[in-house]
Amino acid sequence: LGQIIRDQLALAEAAGDIDRELDQDYRQTMW
């Protein structure tokens, strides 16, 4: 069970990093 939770946290972190990168790209195109 602990392994599954760690996998989910890792996926959430990776998704957060992608969101931040896309957000930065989006802001750059807006400005």
Q: Which residues of 1-28 are buried (b: 16+ CB within 10 A; e: fewer)?
A: eeeeeeeeeeeeeeeeeeeeeeeeeeee
Residue 24, pLDDT score: 87
Amino acid code (one letter) for 18:
I
Residue 31, pLDDT score: 62
Residue 3, pLDDT score: 93
Residue 4, pLDDT score: 92
Mapped onto helix, strand or coil, the DSSP state of residue 13 is helix
- 1-31 pLDDT tens trace: 789 999 999 999 999 888 888 888 888 886 6
* 12 vs 6: CA distance, rounded Å: 10
Q: Rounded to two decimals, what is the model's pTM?
A: 0.54
* 25 vs 4: CA distance, rounded Å: 32
